[in-house]
A = this chain, B = another copy of it.
Amino acid sequence: MSAGQEGWLAIAGLGPGDEALITPEVREALAMATDVIGYTPYVARVAPRPGLTLHPSDNRVELDRAAHALSLAQEGARVVVVSSGDPGVFAMAAAVFEALEAGPLSWRSLDIRVLPGITAMLAASARAGAPLGHDFCAINLSDNLKPWPLIEKRLRLAAQADFAMAFYNPRSKARPEGFARALAVLREACGDSRPVLFARAVCTPQEALRIVPLDQARPEMADMRTMVIVGSSQTRLIERPGAAPLLYTPRSAPEGGA
């Protein structure tokens, strides 16, 4: 790339996995890109073509990846950083802005855009019904970047607020015990019958949905490809003949509150 060429950086969401859920805006950015950067399985979702360099990288190197993307854009490249789902929800957008803030001032003059995508909780919600149809919260259960007591505090306050709760990154091989503790806190705070949706690999050929009451929820029902949604006190199931039940939270909350 020659100096003087107009580089840019787009931080784009590829959605949960189905091609039909990628927005035309993201498609267009990918079509114009010279470089695509991201975690290996997400970069693998972008078709190679002449003129496009793919830069797959490992998990847990988000800041290095972000600095690399900013450097390339400054050199004149048209860079797309790809995330699964939406880049602004537990994904690369915040990492790029952390790198931008810590980096050379010249990076602040770059043309940077965030291109939204269908985030996992909305895809999982759509596949199951509408469990997020009333007030809700989204919590990253990974304690890589925050202390466990803060996660536990948020779970208890979210239960008190009677939010439906969407959990990202519920469980990994490196931290098998965290999700078991989260379920124990939730049982204490919400009782046994609250419906829990385990939505694995939503909108991919491996999709598997399962809804159980909280007292039957087991840590091994989730892995890192699973989105977990715990209903509010109002969330309910509609049984259907010959089809999976629908899980939804009505729009209204009763007088008297949670």
Contacts and interface: CB of A to CB of B under 8 A. Distances in A.
Interface in A100-125: 100-101, 108-109, 112-119, 122-123, 125
Interface stretch (A39-47, A51-59, A138-146, A220-228): A138-146
Interface stretch (A30-38, A157-165, A209-217): A157-165
A132 B22 contact: no
Nearest to A130: B93
Looking at chain A, what size class is its interface with the partner chain? 35 or more
Nearest to A202: B116
A136 B135 contact: no
A133 B11 CA distance: 13
Interface in A67-116: 86-91, 93-95, 97-98, 100-101, 108-109, 112-116
A137 B136 contact: yes
Interface stretch (A170-178, A181-189, A192-200, A237-245): A237-245
Interface string A1-38: 00000000000000100111111110010000000000
Nearest to A159: B157
A238 B15 CA distance: 27
A131 B241 CA distance: 43
A50 interface: no
Given A93-B133, A138-B136, A24 B28 contact: no
Interface of chain A: mostly helix, strand, loop or mixed: mixed
Nearest to A113: B126
Contacts of A236: 101
A89 to B, nearest CB: 6
A240 B19 CA distance: 35
A72 B19 CA distance: 30
A208 to B, nearest CB: 18
Interface of A: 15, 18-25, 28, 62, 86-91, 93-95, 97-98, 100-101, 108-109, 112-119, 122-123, 125-127, 129-140, 145-147, 149-150, 153-154, 157-158, 160-163, 236, 238-243, 246, 248-253, 255-258
Closest 8 CB pairs of A and B: A94-B133, A93-B130, A150-B257, A137-B137, A145-B252, A146-B253, A114-B126, A20-B25
